[in-house]
């Protein structure tokens, strides 16, 4: 694996995003994370999973520098694979907790929304979905995923505002369940995960899926129908110009 690492200790697996400093999401990261989720689902030894980042980033979201260069077929494949990964993570029957080690933006926030429990580092970090701000039309399925955590009214307003939350705001709004010092994030997440593992595996898993059934039904919307407005806007002159400027600014930041 080039963009993630997976370690197993006893009955707990840890997936760590490790694609550069910011863990920006590209096609390879999506593919490798999907493979890891499927393997851990099938691994009978593993009863729970922690997903985390590195340094002061969980993930800065999509790698717009790379994705801007994708052609129409590759962009379609990217969004289709991203959509599949989110559905796999939402339907993951084992306990899945997130140790959010700092900034968690856009696509990174989508990963965390699939978890059963989210622990975030305190500090000058931000978490949220700012797709509208960066020029991406948000599919309806993303609204359903966000509203599962925040409620419909807050999700509606925050998505249209492109709101990014501080850790304390995220805690108050239910976007995360705990905020602790960065050095304690993973341990607190592991403690919560071990608490889940005290329960009957079968009872816990079936209860989780029962609670998520309505959400899963909404996420199973026809992909082409759900994402068509996103694709149409992606290739407009307005969006291409905007993405190009963003990519150039990000390149400048990497070089600086």
- C-alpha distances in Å from residue 28, one per residue of 53, 148, 174: 16, 28, 31
pLDDT at position 253:
59
Q: Note the CATH architecture for domain 4-183+197-201.
A: Alpha-Beta Complex (3.90)
| Cβ-Cβ contacts under 8 Å for 183 (sequence gap 6 or more) | none
pLDDT at position 72:
87
- Residue located via tokens 């080039």: 2
Regarding pTM above 0.75, the answer is yes
Question: Mean pLDDT, consecutive 10-residue segments, the chain of 256 residues?
Answer: 96 96 94 98 97 92 89 91 96 98 95 98 96 88 95 96 96 97 96 97 96 93 83 85 83 54
Query: Do 60 and 171 meet the contact criterion of CB atoms below 8 Å apart?
Result: no
pLDDT at position 1:
87
Give domain limits for the chain.
4-183+197-201
pLDDT at position 192:
98
pLDDT at position 256:
29
């Amino acid at each position: 694996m080039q963009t993630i690492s997976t370690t197993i200790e006893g009955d707990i697996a840890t997936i760590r995003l490790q694609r550069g400093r910011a863990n920006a999401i590209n096609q390879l990261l999506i593919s490798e994370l999907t493979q890891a989720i499927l393997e851990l689902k099938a691994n009978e030894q593993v009863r729970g999973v922690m997903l985390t980042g590195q340094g002061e980033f969980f993930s800065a979201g999509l790698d717009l520098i790379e994705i801007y260069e994708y052609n129409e077929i590759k962009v379609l494949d990217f969004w289709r694979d991203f959509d599949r990964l989110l559905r796999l993570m939402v339907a993951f029957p084992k306990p899945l907790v997130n140790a959010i080690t700092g900034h968690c933006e856009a696509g990174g926030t989508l990963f965390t929304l699939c978890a059963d429990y989210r622990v975030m580092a305190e500090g000058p970090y931000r978490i949220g979905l700012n797709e509208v701000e960066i020029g991406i039309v948000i599919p309806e399925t993303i609204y359903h995923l966000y509203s599962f955590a925040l409620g419909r009214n807050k999700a509606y307003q925050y998505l249209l505002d492109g709101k990014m939350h501080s850790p304390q705001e995220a805690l108050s709004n239910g976007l995360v369940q705990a905020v602790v010092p960065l050095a304690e994030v993973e341990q607190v997440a592991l403690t919560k995960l071990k608490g889940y593992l005290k329960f009957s595996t079968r009872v816990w898993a079936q209860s989780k899926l029962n609670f998520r059934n309505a959400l899963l039904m909404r996420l199973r919307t026809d992909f082409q129908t759900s994402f068509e407005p996103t694709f149409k806007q992606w290739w407009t002159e307005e969006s291409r110009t905007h993405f190009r400027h963003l990519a150039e600014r990000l390149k400048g930041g990497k070089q600086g």
